[in-house]
Amino acid sequence: GNPNWIAVEPREAFFQLGLFAMDESKRHELRPGFGSPAEKKGLVTRFNAFVKKNAKKSGVSFLKKAVVYAHKELKMEPAEFISEIVDAMLGDHYPTPDRILEFNEKAVHPYLMKEILGDKRYGKFDLFATEGGTAAMAYIFNSLMENKILRKGDTIALGTPIFTPYIEIPHLNDYKFVTINVEQDEKKGWQYPDKEIKKLENPKIKAFFLVHPSNPTSVSIQPESFKKIANLVKNKRKDLIILTDDVYGTFVNGFKSLAAAAPHNTILVYSFSKYFGATGWRLGVIAIHEKNILDQKIAKLSARDKAILNKRYSTVALYPEKLKFIERMVADSRAVALHHTSGVSTPQQVVMTLFSIFCLLDKKGVYKKRAQDILLKRFKTLYKGIGIPCPKDPYGTHYYTIIDIPKLAQKRYSKSFATYLVKTFEPIDFVVRLAQERAVVLLDGGGFDAPNMSIRISLANLPDAAYENIGKSISWLLEQYYKHWKSNPSTSSQASHKASPGTAGRSAARTRSLQ
């Protein structure tokens, strides 16, 4: 899923800002090779001179626009904003505030409102900048346990298919959760059917974890289901915690996070990695409404549990019982005792700010359209290569797709052939042979709780032309299975004996026999 594109303009602005920051640091050298923090006096004048002198250089124009936007829309005086981003660029202070730098929160909050929540009416969310979405998830799970909101043995629901680590995490010794799958329906375009949503009415389910839009099925929840989840939380499950990973939300027009459906119940995780081609930067954020059920659950804990937690956070706050869950998460991220050094590095937060302002300035959504076009073109090329109609789904991201091989086999050849595939070969047989014989490496969909013998394809990380070869290779290999089935009379009897995990060797032998 690592994208092969780079958002250029905000990066150019970042590096131009770095050059200006270094000029400022070298104005007062302590010793040869030792700069000093930037001097605030006259900083705006020197910044304007830098912009004028370098006006034709890439990134400078956007940098100037970012300062103007921060002033007009984010209500930050140029002197204040420039001073803070220059200091952050130099990285010569610990992040303060540690949860998120003030200028960064002022930029990221409206970005999330625009791109992920789709509206400003949902109120204010507190933000915690993290080292990517994966760190965010680790911090959330840890703090939910530390603050006794979730406990070992609790029941949680997973929206499946889902990113494989989210299947694995609940069963670690740290958590030992009981999991109930809320399953998308392939026949309904990978949407959650009513009967699956109804599972969330079960009061034993403490939390619902999902990736939205989904990974690997790459669709967002349609409006009807969205409303049903909102009504369920509002009327039947006011205590339900929702944890939603919305990293792919920007690839769907009109996307809305479940944080819009249930703002007071939802922990929203967003990462800048996919949309901006920034996986190496490790830029993530956790958003929790300033009025949320997590703080309410902590307030309702027993006196004994409160005493334990007050002792835990006594070095963080004078009145630890008043510490919000999101602030506890910041402390927990550095084992509490090291909380004074918590927080994402300050240069990383400058990048987050520039990415956010870049999209906020893009009123016509030019960048979004181009990012979506990259994926859609590859998506169409892939399906053309396979030789099947390209699915049209207004809720799809086109970032990934699932190809259900038995379903394709039945549609292209016959139901009996599809049955033969499922009953004769290991679920991963198809992807293994694809790698061995065509040098095409794809992931097994079953690892994501997608259908067995399905394959998950990322449309984000290869050149456009590669997807035609992938599609043709899938089609070619399926044909080889079919030819073997048709030419070997004994295969009809084999079809009644499905290979078990213990018969991998025999499955491999059968694979070789197809060549």
Domain 366-513 in CATH 3.90.1150.10? yes
Kindly provide the residue ranges of all beta strands, DSSP E only, lying in 33-187, ordered along the sequence.
Answer: 125-130, 155-160, 178-183
| Per-residue pLDDT tens over the stretch 346-365 | 999 999 999 999 999 999 99
Model pLDDT, residue 503: 35
Tell me how far apart the alpha carbons of residues 178 and 199 are, in angstroms, rounded to a whole number.
14
CATH architecture of 102-359: 3-Layer(aba) Sandwich (3.40)
Model pLDDT, residue 491: 61
Model pLDDT, residue 498: 43
Q: 284: part of which helix (H) or strand (E)?
A: strand 284-289
CB 115 within 8 A of CB 250: yes
What are the sequence ranges of the domains in the chain?
8-93, 102-359, 366-513
| Per-residue pLDDT tens over the stretch 183-233 | 999 999 999 999 999 999 999 999 999 999 999 999 999 999 999 999 999
Tell me how far apart the alpha carbons of residues 95 and 15 are, in angstroms, rounded to a whole number.
20
Stretches in the chain below the pLDDT threshold 70: 489-515
Which residues, including other chains, have CB under 8 Å from residue 445's CB and lie 6 or more apart? 161, 216, 402, 403, 404, 451, 452, 453, 454, 455, 456
Model pLDDT, residue 506: 36
CB 101 within 8 A of CB 127: no
Which residues, including other chains, have CB under 8 Å from residue 223's CB and lie 6 or more apart? none
Model pLDDT, residue 237: 97
Model pLDDT, residue 514: 54
CB 147 within 8 A of CB 196: no
Model pLDDT, residue 1: 79
CATH class of 8-93: mainly alpha
Model pLDDT, residue 304: 98
